[in-house]
Amino acid sequence: MNFTQMRRRIAKLLGLAMLLATIQFPLSAAVLAHADYDHSVPAADEVVHQAPQQVQVWFTQELFRREGQNSLEVYGPDEQRVDLDDFAIDDDDRKLMTVSLPPDLANGVYTVRWRSLSADDGDDANGEFQFTIQSDVPTAEAPATETPESTTEAAQPSPTDTAQPEQAEPQQTPSAADTDSEVPETSPDQGPGLPCLGSSVPLILLLGGLLIGRGRRYRRNLSPFAKRGQNY
């Protein structure tokens, strides 16, 4: 193969490569023209432990503001729409679209559905992703209303209930004053039937004095007769 033939083949190969590049470029541009999902908060398939205040979605291209062409909606586990219907394209970052959520969302899987209109060539796109709310704090439930039958059953004792014994009243320890007042009149050292001599001492002394006085008078009366008897 001479040098001329080699140059021709190289030229053909370069021409074929340029042709392929020319054909592929419009196709690539068409594929990249859509404003597709790039990332979001919450992220796709993310499990959050607290209900977010809003959903933020970033797209691969800037969005074109045209009524009815862009949307961002959030649906709950029961397929009911739960967002506040206030989606907006950010003024500073036109690749960002947001929508607000209520603060009392329950646990479950939520679906975000979006639709975008590219500002580069006007092509539209749509898609969806999901995230899960799994809060550690359980939601408060309304207390069940008690029916009269349940109240009556609750008031009646169960057959298996055992009767509790009545608590004995605590015994009161007698005080020193009560103990002194309850001492019996008869001392344990005194014999049975003996009266208390404390109150009869004056009477005994009075009787003894009378007897002594009578004895003296009796001796006085007998003294003259005793003297006469001695004279005889």
What is the value of pTM for the model shown?
0.49
Given a cut of 70, whether residue 38 has pLDDT beyond it is yes
Pair of tokens at residue 158: 């169960």
All residues at 6 or more sequence positions from 120 whose CB lies less than 8 Å from its CB, including other chains: 33, 35, 61, 62
pLDDT at 189: 46
Q: Are 95 and 135 in contact (CB under 8 A)?
A: no
Domain ranges of the chain: 37-133
Kindly report, residue by residue over 45-86, the tens digit of the pLDDT. 999 999 999 999 999 999 999 988 999 999 999 999 999 999
- Give CA–CA dist 123/101, Å, rounded: 28
Mean pLDDT for the stretch of residues 12-23: 75
* b (16+ CB within 10 A) / e for 162-184: eeeeeeeeeeeeeeeeeeeeeee
pLDDT at 48: 97
pLDDT at 177: 46
Kindly report, residue by residue over 156-204, the tens digit of the pLDDT. 555 444 445 455 455 555 454 444 444 445 444 444 444 455 556 667 7
The domain made up of 37-133 has a fold known as: Immunoglobulin-like (2.60.40)
